[in-house]
Every structure is written in C-alpha cells, then in structure tokens.
C-alpha cells in the first residue's frame, strides 16, 4: 500500500526525540529492508498516531523506506543517500534470514514460557504439594534417610514426613548437614530477598526439601519449609556459621570490586566486634573462593570479573574513600551483585525496560535478567556515558529497541546515581559532594526563574 507522502511530511515536525534518533539510525544504515519487533506504540507513538505504521504490541513489522527517505530529505537535509526499494532477490534473501532467525527465537521463547509456567505453578506451594509429586518409592527413601516410619499408603507416608519435619528442627538439622555451601547460600538469598526459586546447576537430592520439576533445573523452596528455616535461623542466629562469613566476603567483594584488605578488616571488626587477621582471610579465600587466590596481591583482592586484567590498584585506588556499611545485613544484601536499594526509580525502570524490550510476549524473568545485567554493568563502569554504551549494544543485539525511549534514558540516569559503584569505593554518585552541589544549583536556577515570572 502506497503511503501518502504529504502525510509523512506533515507528521515529521511532531516526532519526538526517540523517533528522530530511530529514523536517523535507519537512514545511516541504508538498508532497504528494515524489520523490527518493537512495541511501536511505545517507541514510535507519533508515527502510529498518524496512521503511518500500525501499533504492533511487539509483533514483527517492516519500516517503510518512504518514511526513512522523507526523514532523511526533510529533517536531515539528505545527509545520507536515498534508499532504493529492494529487489526480488533481496526480498527472497530476507525471507531466508528471517526463517533462520525465527527458529532460534521460537526455541528461546518456548524455554522462557516453560520457565514462566513453572514459576507460576510451583511458587509459594507447601511441602505436601511437592511430596505429592514423588512416587511412593522416593517417599519411602526419604523416610528411611530420616529414620521415620514406613508405610505403603502414599498419603499416610506424606503426612509422616511432613508432620515430623515441622515438629522440631531435628530433620532440618540433618538436611542442612548434607547441603553444600552453594546451595545454602542460595537458600539464604531466597530468604533474604523473598523469592522461592533459583537455578542450582548441581541439582538437589530428594532428601533435601527443594522441588525441581525437572532434574538440574530451577529449584523451588516450599513456603512452609522457608518459614521453618527462618524459625531455625532465628533460634540459632544463623543457618550455618560458615555461611555468615561467606556472605560477608561475597557482599564485600561485590560492594567494592577492588577490595583493600585493610578496609575489609576494618568493616569486619566494626560489624562483628572481633579482628579478622590476614592469615585468616587467605585461608578463607582458599577454602571458599579458590578462584580468587590468584587475584590477591599486596593489600588488594580483585573481583573475579577483573581476573584477567592487569591493574595497578595502588596507583588507581589507594586514596579512595570507602563506604563503610553500618550493619551486617547491609553487607549481605550485596551477595547479589545486581543489588541496588529499591526505589520508585528502580521499580519504574523495570516497567520501562519491558516497554522497550522486543517481542510480543515478554516474561518477568526476562525483564529481571536484563535489569540485573544493567545494574551489574553500572557497578563496574566509570561513568554513565560508558554504561550507556552497553545499553546501545543491547539494541544492536536485538534485545531492546535500538533507541531507548526518553523516559527509559532518564530512568537509567537516575538509577545510575543510586548504584554503589566500584570506582567510588562502594559510594553512590548521589552521595558525592559535587553531585549534591549540582542539584542545589539546579534548584537555585529554578527559583530565580520563578522570581522573574513575578
């Protein structure tokens, strides 16, 4: 269908910045077939409102080259060569490429749908629901492991296991004894951040009350088991004492990135009320984080993300002032490298990310994964501009729109100031004096403008 050229020309002045950048990139690329799967109603709202393209809701569409050429001519003053219509051979080749790409995409989306279905089906379920999925042979094996009464009646066997598990902490204590550190740390994180499922590549045996719909897949922590572990932790003070130290180290490494050993000792002494000797740190690193042993040099421990980079840390960071957490819990939050204090900005960022992501169906786990990747990138970069290059790269990889909406860009800038950065010793940009001064100046300028209006 031919597009009314005058309608295009009349619409060009109404385009917002995102639409202009989007069309500029397409004009610069010069491709005569431009296929995309963005939510046009979000990314290109004025083109949709004018009826030049349809609201796609993430389905695949082709940007008409007439719109690109008109934008290049009337807005960019013919900065780029005019794009010619595709030949039959080019159209055929595009169809071949599309079919190749769509196969891989469909497989990925099947997996995402399966994960979403599992999370929806198995989250917040009690232990009995999970035990009911097991055959009687497995239930008997569990009963034998915990030295419980055996019966051929499945319902009765489930009740025996369930009642004895929650009667006291005897069975839980034995269960904890047979868990490895990685699994225990995952459970600690699940309790701390209030989620009930996680990926654990080693799998879990039937005697450990975590449910895996398929072997070596996502593990689900039953809601009543989680509450029982919380009660155990409240009584004991910890699930396992070694895990408390592992959480401390992991939190500190993710908070500082390039960790000064003397600063780590200072934090530990403040929070735990006892010294942490260098020899003890070396022994702990060997036991808990053997991959970091080569990263220890002088007064420094490098994060594993920088294992292969040679850095003169003394010259770069010796005079840096560090953020010193006030509580153990404040350190433990950074067991997740993508942790940032929740705020209106972080919540809105996830919503806006979803609007910018490609595809008709976007699952929550996809949004969370992308959000985590962005926060982790923010943490290691030296400026927002450097971090934003990563966002642009996501567009090039067809994960989000090649041009973030103005709202997304604004939210990314705001959230960047809230992330504790390695280059600032775990401080936020918003905590720096120069940032606070710039905010004050902005407020003063606005006040002066208001006075002038009077």
35-49 pLDDT per residue, tens: 999 999 999 999 999
| Nearest one of 417, 402, 257, 426 to 349, comparing CA atoms | 417
The pLDDT tens digits of the residues spanning 269-320 come to 999 999 999 999 999 999 999 999 999 988 999 999 887 777 777 767 777 8
pLDDT in the model for residue 59: 92
Q: How many residues does the chain have?
A: 454
The pLDDT tens digits of the residues spanning 338-350 come to 999 999 999 999 9
CB 157 within 8 A of CB 139: yes
pLDDT in the model for residue 108: 87
pLDDT in the model for residue 442: 45
Query: Which two structure tokens, joined as six digits, stand for 133?
Result: 């999925």
pLDDT in the model for residue 454: 45
How deeply is 37 buried, as exposed, middle or buried, from its count of CB atoms within 10 A (0-12, 13-18, 19+)?
A: middle
- Residue 162 — very low, low, confident or very high, per pLDDT cuts 50/70/90? very high
pLDDT in the model for residue 432: 87
CA distance 376 to 336: 9
Q: Are strands 300-302 and 258-260 parallel, antiparallel or unpaired?
A: antiparallel
- Residue 449 — very low, low, confident or very high, per pLDDT cuts 50/70/90? low
List phi, psi (to 5°) of 13: -65, -15
List phi, psi (to 5°) of 398: 65, 30
- Judged against a pLDDT cut of 60, whether residue 445 lies above it is answered with no
CA distance 269 to 248: 12
Mean pLDDT (the chain) is 90
- Judged against a pLDDT cut of 50, whether residue 385 lies above it is answered with yes
pLDDT in the model for residue 215: 58
Lowest mean per-residue pLDDT among 169-178, 248-257, 315-324, 435-444: 435-444
- Residue 66 — very low, low, confident or very high, per pLDDT cuts 50/70/90? very high
Query: Which two structure tokens, joined as six digits, stand for 287?
Result: 């036991």
- Residue 438 — very low, low, confident or very high, per pLDDT cuts 50/70/90? low
| Nearest one of 234, 271, 227, 236 to 251, comparing CA atoms | 271
Q: Alpha carbon 112 to chain centroid distance?
A: 15
């Amino acid at each position: 269908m031919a597009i009314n050229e005058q309608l295009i020309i009349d619409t060009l002045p109404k385009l917002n910045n995102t639409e202009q950048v989007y069309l500029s990139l397409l004009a610069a690329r010069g491709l005569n077939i431009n296929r995309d799967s963005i939510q046009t109603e979000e990314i290109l709202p004025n083109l949709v409102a004018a009826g030049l393209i349809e609201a796609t809701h993430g389905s695949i569409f082709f940007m008409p080259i007439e719109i690109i050429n008109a934008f290049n001519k009337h807005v960019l003053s013919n900065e780029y060569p005019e794009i010619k219509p595709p030949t039959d051979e080019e159209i055929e080749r595009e169809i071949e490429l599309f079919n190749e790409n769509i196969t891989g995409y469909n497989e990925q989306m099947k997996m995402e749908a399966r994960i979403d279905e599992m999370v929806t089906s198995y989250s917040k379920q009690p232990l009995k629901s999970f035990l009911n999925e097991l055959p009687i042979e497995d239930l008997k094996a569990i009963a034998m492991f915990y030295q419980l009464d055996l019966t051929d009646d499945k319902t009765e066997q489930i009740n025996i296991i369930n009642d004895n598990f929650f009667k006291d902490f005897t069975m839980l204590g034995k269960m904890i004894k047979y868990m490895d550190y990685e699994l225990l740390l995952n459970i600690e994180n699940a309790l701390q951040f209030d989620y009930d499922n996680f990926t654990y590549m080693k799998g879990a045996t039937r005697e450990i009350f975590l449910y895996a719909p398929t072997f070596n897949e996502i593990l689900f922590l039953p809601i009543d088991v989680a509450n029982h572990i919380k009660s155990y932790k409240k009584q004991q003070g910890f699930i396992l004492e070694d895990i408390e130290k592992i959480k401390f180290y992991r939190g500190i490494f993710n908070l500082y990135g390039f960790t000064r050993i003397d600063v780590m000792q200072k934090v530990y002494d403040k929070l735990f009320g006892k010294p942490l000797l260098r020899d003890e740190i070396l022994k702990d690193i060997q036991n808990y984080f053997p991959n970091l042993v080569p990263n220890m040099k002088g007064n420094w421990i490098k994060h594993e993300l920088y294992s292969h980079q040679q850095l003169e840390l003394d010259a770069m960071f010796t005079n840096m002032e560090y953020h010193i957490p006030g509580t153990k819990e404040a350190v433990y939050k950074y067991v997740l490298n993508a942790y940032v204090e929740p705020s209106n900005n972080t919540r809105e960022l996830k919503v806006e990310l979803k609007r910018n992501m490609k595809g008709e169906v976007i699952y929550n786990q996809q949004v969370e994964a992308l959000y985590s990747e962005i926060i982790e990138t923010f943490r290691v970069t030296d400026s927002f501009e450097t971090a934003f290059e990563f966002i642009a790269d996501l567009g090039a990889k067809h994960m989000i729109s090649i041009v973030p909406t103005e709202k997304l860009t604004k939210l990314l800038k705001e959230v960047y100031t809230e992330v504790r950065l390695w280059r600032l010793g775990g401080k936020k940009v918003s905590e720096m004096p120069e940032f606070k001064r710039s905010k004050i100046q902005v407020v003063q300028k606005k006040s002066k403008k208001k006075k002038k209006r009077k």
